[in-house]
Amino acid sequence: MENCGVYPLRRHAQHIKQPFTETGTLLYNFVCDLIELLVKHQSPKMKIALTAAAVLTPTESITNGVLIIEDGKISKVGARTAIEVSSGAKHLDFPDAVLAPGFIDIHIHGGAGHDVMEGDSAALAAIETSMAKHGVTSYCPTTVTAPLDKTLVALEKLGKAVKNSQPNGVRARPLGLHLEGPFISTAKCGVHPLADITAPSLELFEEFWAAAQGAINLMTIAPELPNAPEVIRTASARGVRISLGHSDAEAAPTKSAIAAGARHATHTFNAMRSLNHRDPGILGVVLSDDRLSADIIVDGVHVAPEIVKIFLASKTEERAILITDAISATGMPDGRYRLGTFEVEVKGLTCMLDGHLAGSVLTMDSAIRNVMIFAQWSLQRSVRLATLNPARLLGIDDRKGSLAAGKDADVVVLSTSGEVIRTIIGGVGA
């Protein structure tokens, strides 16, 4: 339920054309009172104390930890021996679980049967509710290459959704858009429609920027394309994080893009020039340059477990980021599902179109568990790849991505094996 629509319900009764009977009025008032009571019960302004076997901040693990939430923010975090839980606080104890920061997905196209480019409130509500069930508290709705008119309409709708985003129950909240395409290589486009791919230009970037009301946080671009450095410099100056991907670039243009301001790489290995020991190309630069963070799809389909281990050894827990690249089929049965303006065939964990992988049905909690299995990493190390690291990339680590006093109360309660027990967003859900 939307906060802006709850309390005025009784006030709006006079505008309903069909008059209430006396019984109807009593019933209507009862429903209004009940809804108001439920919303108050979920209010982030309540003081809440969470205790668990451990708190993963994630840079440290606090045994027998406690986390205090007030007004939707974390006010205290530490060991139970150091922090007293006041008698007036709502106390939730998870003796066999751990507390971690809410997950952040910077690359997601949809879920629960909906694509983010639909842009309407019902579609986004379904996607955001589905994500929250898997521990995601914040995300970047990600576009896919489409005809210009459809892209501009989607950007306008999504930009408004970001600008108007308000606490609204246990739903992941949009941070800003990820523009994936159309500034990508035709040689490494994957399933992006060839007819709609175009060379980077400042004029087109300005159109995208205006349509999205400046709500573009991340943009994928192929560095070898004409005008790429110029567009990278301009977008970076606006605060857009530039990610290199869908690229057949050699090493030289990749390094030029980094010099122009690029700081990240999109779904490393996928839709990317292969590594050669004498011609390292974009992949060699991505893996070796510490100025770049990089993300990866760890679903066991896009990248083999051995490659995941090589990636993590190269980028380390400081610069590796997990993404889902999830599409509308996530959480749904096998079948045909929308990705942008086209449909893909989904069977099991695989999404395909004309012999090419087309996104995933991966969830972020599964990605974390896969890292634990594939690389034998601890839960604490694995969680960092979906929390602090994406927050740092987006420049929001002052308020998200870790559990510390003053930060948003976005918390996920996990089993020791990484299963989601509860998701709390801005203090709501506790």
Whether 390 shows a pLDDT value over 90: the answer reads yes
pLDDT score of 92: 96
> Residue 72: CA atoms inside 13 Å, Cβ hemisphere, count?
13
Whether 34 shows a pLDDT value over 80: the answer reads no
Range 17-26 average pLDDT: 50
pLDDT tens, position by position, 404-430: 999 999 999 999 999 999 999 999 997
Q: How far apart are CA 9 and CA 102, in angstroms?
A: 32
pLDDT tens, position by position, 180-212: 999 999 999 999 999 999 999 999 999 999 999
Instruction: Provide the 8-state DSSP code for 187.
Output: G
pLDDT tens, position by position, 332-359: 999 999 999 999 999 999 999 999 999 9
Question: Residue 167: which pLDDT band, with cuts at 50, 70 and 90?
Answer: confident
pLDDT tens, position by position, 214-229: 999 999 999 999 999 9
* Of 339, 330, 360, residue with least CA distance to 144: 339
Contact 257, 223 (CB under 8 A): yes
* Of 289, 360, 286, 349, residue with least CA distance to 323: 360
Instruction: Provide the 8-state DSSP code for 12.
Output: G
pLDDT tens, position by position, 86-115: 888 999 999 999 999 999 999 999 999 999
Question: Residue 22: which pLDDT band, with cuts at 50, 70 and 90?
Answer: low
The count of residues in the chain is: 430
Axis crossing angle, helix 202-211 with helix 228-237, rounded to the nearest 10: 30
Domain ranges in the chain?
3-41, 43-102+402-430, 103-400
pLDDT score of 90: 95
Handedness of CA 424, 425, 429, 430 (dihedral sign): positive
Whether 5 shows a pLDDT value over 80: the answer reads no
- pTM of the model as a whole: 0.90
Task: Please identify, in words, the CATH class of the domain defined by 103-400.
Answer: alpha beta
Which overall architecture, per CATH, does domain 43-102+402-430 show? Roll (2.30)
Least confident of 4-8, 105-109, 364-368: 4-8
What letters, b where the CB count within 10 A reaches 16 and e where it falls short, cover 96-121?
ebbbbbbbbbbbbbbbbbbbbbbbee
- Catalytic residue positions, numbered: 325
Give strand pairing partners of 174: 139
